[in-house]
Amino acid sequence: MDKVAFYTLGCKVNQYETEAMEEIFEKNDYVIVNSDEIADIYVINTCTVTNLSDRKSRQFISRAKKLNKDAIIAVVGCYSQVSPDEVEKIEGVDVIIGTTERNRILELCEKAKAENQRINIVRNIKSQKEFEPINIDDIKSKTRAYIKIQDGCSQFCSYCIIPYARGPIRSRSLDEIVEETQKLASAGFKEVVLTGIHVASYGKDTDKTPLVKVLEEVGKVKGIDRIRLSSLEPTLIDENFMKSILKIGKVCDHFHLSLQSGSDTVLKRMNRKYTTSEYRNIVSIIRKYMPNAGITTDIIVGFPGETEDEFNETLDFVKEIGFSRIHVFKYSPRKGTPASKYENQVDGNIKNQRSECLIALGEELMLKFNSKFINSTLSVLFEEESKGEKGNIEGYTTNYIRVKSKKDINMIGKIVDVKINKIKNDFLLG
């Protein structure tokens, strides 16, 4: 049997799409092997958010060819969408697909092999107006499942390449979302995560179905006990939104609200669509209805022109909000974005210092947040055995705290109430 290996970079959407492509090969009698094994076909699902992502993609292409010089190499995703000519120049690449038509991956790989030719089907993503489904029938995980409900972004933040890689917003039909949810419930899943490139924009391209309606309909599916939302634009949330999701009763009290900076002047240069005052108000609305909500975020340090005072504004704002977890990124110029041409690019050493400072603050805040729940009983969906810790299993609370417990392995895939005894590193022990 022919073998295929996948190497995936980037976000949860990419991971979802890789799993869908794997399934296409499996249904046609291919064996999926690890990316460091010898295979007949290597598929690199790329990310282009940073220069590092592009470099990792190129490095894996080289590595794959060393593993099997006769293998077919397919490069798909955001990097090939944004820079198809650059990818075409990389020696050894046989198939180039952008962020559409990934359901043709097997057909194109086999054609490239049979006809001994390079195939490039990347086209102008701006013309893509419809959501292109790429479905998964057999999810490999059996606890938490991702459902892609949306693609594209029309925000055009000054630092971000994604609108150029993913195109305009396209929403998946509500019927398709509910149908996939029902399949997942039948397969035994308890939690679904609604994901996309810009989830908050769901329905805005059709003016028919708001995101709240999706949550309501998914919430009606029997067997699904938890609904989680992936990264959200903060401005989606208001009093009506929170009242609506409380009525559903299954939406997790965890919100990943992208901040990017705690300085209004930096936010303006980033072309973000809110101020720190508005963000502060949104967080207060969440906590009014869900007092124990975990609020996580992304922050970029070293954005062009970021002064020491502006960075300190971010530190002060982060402390004030009290995030439960922070993902810190050092600004990376992306060719084709306005910010890459801005003056006063920040020195790399300064970026490193600011990143370390913010990461340390994030760890302090996470410890403070998690500590609030010692001696509490929390609902945990157990997902897996703890690596290297025989007898422990671990999972997540609704507000996205990792919990380890000496429970029976048969508890994996089930939601269990756990009495929290103490805290260790970034997780709770029960």
Q: What is the pLDDT of residue 260?
A: 97
Strand partners, 385: 393
Residue with tokens 């020195």: 347
CATH 3.40.50.620 fits 3-123, yes or no: no
* CA 364 vs CA 59, 149, 152, 221, 376: distances in Å: 35, 34, 35, 39, 20
Q: Taking the complete model, does pTM exceed 0.85, yes or no?
A: yes
Q: What is the pLDDT of residue 12?
A: 85
Task: Give domain limits for the chain.
Answer: 3-123, 145-372, 376-429
> How far apart, in whole angstroms, are the C-alpha atoms of residue 41 and residue 309?
51
Q: What is the pLDDT of residue 387?
A: 82
Give yes or no on whether 3-123 and 145-372 have one common fold: no
Q: What is the pLDDT of residue 138?
A: 67
Q: What is the largest CA-CA distance in the chain?
A: 65
CATH number, domain 145-372, options 3.80.30.20, 3.30.565.10, 3.30.1330.200, 3.40.50.720: 3.80.30.20
Residue with tokens 């962020």: 99
Query: Are the C-beta atoms of residues 46 and 83 closer than 8 Å to each other?
Result: no
pLDDT mean across residues, the chain? 92
Q: Based on the number of CB atoms within 10 Å of its own CB, is 231 exposed (0-12), middle (13-18) or buried (19 or more)? A: buried
> How far apart, in whole angstroms, are the C-alpha atoms of residue 123 and residue 127?
9
> How far apart, in whole angstroms, are the C-alpha atoms of residue 197 and residue 54?
19
User: pLDDT averaged over consecutive 10-residue blocks of the chain (430 residues)?
Assistant: 91 88 93 93 90 83 88 93 90 92 94 93 86 72 84 93 92 94 92 94 89 96 95 94 96 96 98 97 98 97 97 98 96 91 94 97 96 95 85 92 89 92 87
Both tokens assigned to 222: 């029997």
> How far apart, in whole angstroms, are the C-alpha atoms of residue 333 and residue 341?
8
Q: What is the pLDDT of residue 157?
A: 95
Q: What is the pLDDT of residue 238?
A: 96
Query: Which DSSP string do the residues of 222-259 spell out, in sequence order?
Result: TT--EEEE-SB-GGG--HHHHHHHHHHS-B-SEEEB--
